[in-house]
Amino acid sequence: MPDSISSEGTSPLSVFSLENKLALVTGGGSGIGFHIAECLVQAGAKVVLTGRRESVLQEAVEKLGSQAVYFVHDITELGTIPKLVADIEETHGPLDVLVNNAGINMKKHAVETTDADFDRILQTNLHAVFAITRECGKRMIERKSGSIIMITSMAALYGIDRVVAYSSSKSAVAGMVKALATEFSPHHVRINGIAPGFIETPMMLTAMNGDPARRDKAMDRTPMGTWGKPDDIGWAAVFLASNAAKFITGISLPVDGGNSIGF
């Protein structure tokens, strides 16, 4: 087999393998995060899930099997992040992959969005993402190895009404990806974003089903004309975490059925 196809092992597909890798997925108990964790496990990784609801995390780990464990953790409690990461690494070994998936949204007109609303969204989607990335990044830099993935949004790429705080937070994270890539990449720690389009999650479907005009508009804006599945994001995460993406850093990859093309 030529080196360009299979420099990592015996099969061309082994370049996507995450065998013996440890991945942390924030908000991994439900929604897109759970499916990211499921794909990482299928690629061979061991996964650590975090979230605030223990029952949800327990159920997720039961579904994922022995390759998954959880830590109950609220990422907005910034001061607890160094201990979380230290506890994970002491118990399960060094983290190879961080997926910053946990996030919250809020639909409100800009003029009705209070400072408290804005702070709440930015605390979860931006400050906490930076704090956990800094902690994991520091350790990965010492080991000269790691891959960090931020789940952003198409709201980071173009204007969507009534999500000003969410949009601001996700755009800032897309900027963070580029800024951190300049500092982390020389130390062999890659950092990339994934910008999901309209993905079929309970949260998204509930929001859209209550608003059929918005649902139709979403599909009109999607050249492929279908909803994305959560594992579309999961497989993109496997790719970016793996050696198949070993020369990719500082990008935001749209996974959106063509939504971001604009037409």
Asked whether the beta carbons of 103 and 151 are under 8 A apart, the reply is: yes
166 in catalytic set: yes
- Distance (Å, whole) CA 103 – CA 193: 14
Identity of the residue, 60 or 189, whose beta carbon is nearer to ligand NDP in the bound complex = 60
Q: Shortest gap between Cβ of 240 and ligand NDP (angstroms)?
A: 15
Q: Shortest gap between Cβ of 194 and ligand NDP (angstroms)?
A: 9
Per CB under 6 A, 53 contacts ligand NDP:
yes
Identity of the residue, 17 or 101, whose beta carbon is nearer to ligand NDP in the bound complex = 101
DSSP string covering 206-255: HHHHT-HHHHHHHHHT-TT-SPBPHHHHHHHHHHHHSGGGTT--S-EEEE
- Residue burial 103-133, b: 16+ Cβ < 10 Å; e: rest: bebeebeeeebeeeebeebbbbbbbbbbbbb
Return the residue of 23, 24, 30, 234 that touches ligand NDP, per CB under 6 A. 30
In the chain the beta strands, taken as DSSP E runs, fall at 22-26, 46-51, 68-72, 97-100, 146-151, 189-196, 252-255
The encoded tokens of residue 3 equal 């080196």
Identity of the residue, 33 or 257, whose beta carbon is nearer to ligand NDP in the bound complex = 33
Return the residue of 13, 86, 203, 224 that touches ligand NDP, per CB under 6 A. 203
Q: Which of 70, 166, 184, 239 is catalytic?
A: 166
Name the amino acid, one letter, at 167: S
Nearest CA to 123 among 169, 64, 179?
Answer: 169
- Distance (Å, whole) CA 243 – CA 136: 19
Q: Shortest gap between Cβ of 142 and ligand NDP (angstroms)?
A: 25
Per CB under 6 A, 27 contacts ligand NDP:
yes
Per CB under 6 A, 74 contacts ligand NDP:
yes
Identity of the residue, 53 or 134, whose beta carbon is nearer to ligand NDP in the bound complex = 53
Q: Shortest gap between Cβ of 146 and ligand NDP (angstroms)?
A: 20
Residues labelled as active-site residues: 166
Q: Which residues bind ligand NDP (CB under 6 A)?
A: 26-27, 29-33, 50-53, 56, 74-76, 101-105, 124, 151, 153, 196, 198-199, 201, 203-204
